[in-house]
Structure 1
Amino acid sequence: MNMNHAQRLILSNQYEILSKLNPEKADYYHRCKTIVERGYCLQMLELEKEFGHLTEETCREVIDTLEMHHALKVSYENLPPEDQAQLAPSRLDFIGYARGYEKELADYVCYLLDVEKRFPDLGKCCAGLNSEIAMHDKYQRMLEEWRECPRQYKLSIQEIRNIVTA
């Protein structure tokens, strides 16, 4: 993180203000303030990690993943009961991304669900999502399969099964 002296002073002052506003995190903010004031480049890289960056393409992919899960649920609900009996509805649930491996993706989902209030029909909020394993690759395979379907909101049981097992 390259900052001039004025930017460092501004950021240092912001950390000071944050320490007053959030006394429970005061030690953390004082540490950040010291790093910025003294220009410890190695630790400033650590602070920079807190500023996420997702490309437009990645954001669209996450939205498409949530949209796909919505389409799976809608399609499943429109199937006849004998088809529904072939697949447990829990297999269609969006379980989120692994915070340990995919933090930026998980944070973006939280933003979409809790701040933007999008996809309320998924019945999830940020607190209810955290996969134990990395899911990005799995969701990409599922999206590829879903995009091949001619009617993405009127999926057959076989198409649903193909997507879920991708």
Structure 2
Amino acid sequence: MNMSHTERLILSNQYEILAKLNPEQAAQYQRASTIIEKGYCLQILALEKDFGHLDLATCQEVLDTLELHHALAISWGNLDPANQGEIAASRLRFNGYSRSQEAALADYVCFLLEVDKRFPELDCPCDELSSDIAMREKYQRMLALWRQCPRQYKLSIQEIRNILAA
């Protein structure tokens, strides 16, 4: 992180203010203030990790994954009852991303659901959205199949099966 002296002073002062506003985390904020003020490059890099960064393509991928699950639910709802019985509704549920391995993606999903209020039909409280295993590769395979479908919101039972099995 390259910052001018002015930027470092401003950020250091902000950490000082946070220390006063949050006495229970004052030591952590004081440490960060000292690191920024003194310009300790190694520790600044560690602080920078806390800011996170998701590029445009990754954000779009997460949005597409949520859209895919929305399309699966709509398509399943449009099936006749006999076909609906072949796939449990619970299999269509969005499981989220692994908090231990895909935290940035999980945080973005929570932002989209709770802050932006997107995809309310998914009905997934953020605190319940955490897969035990990494899901990104699975979702990428599902997206690849979904994108090949000519009617993405009117999927057949076979298309739904193929996407879920990806």
Q: Which moved more, 1:134-143 or 1:29-38?
A: 29-38
In 2, the alpha carbon distance for the partners of 1:119 and 1:24 equals 35
1:33 aligns with 2:33: yes
Percent of aligned positions that are identical: 66
Counterpart residue number, 1:120:
120
Structure 1 runs of 4+ with >4 Å offset: none
For the residue of structure 1 that corresponds to 2:107, the secondary structure is: helix
Superposed displacement of residue 10, structure 1: 0.7
Secondary structure at the residue paired with 1:127?
helix
Residue aligning to 1:4: 4
- Cα-Cα RMSD: 1.1
| CA apart distance, 1:110 | 1.0
- Structure 2 gaps of 5+ residues are none
The 5 Å alignment of 1:59-98 reads 59-98=59-98
Aligned residues: 166
Normalising by structure 1, we get a TM-score of: 0.95
Alignment partner, residue 20 of structure 2: 20
Residue type of the alignment partner of 1:63: L
1:103 and 2:103 correspond: yes
Q: When the two structures are superposed, what TM-score results if normalisation uses the length of structure 2? A: 0.95
CA distance in 2 between partners of 1:70 and 1:93 (Å):
9
Cα distance in 2 for residues equivalent to 1:160 and 1:45:
44
> What are the superposed Cα offsets for residues 64-88 of structure 1, whole Å, 9 maximum, x if unpaired?
1000000001111111111111111
Shift of 1:134: 1.0
Q: Any gaps of 5 or more consecutive residues in structure 1?
A: none
Matches of 1:126 and 1:61, distance apart in 2: 18
Shift of 1:125: 2.7
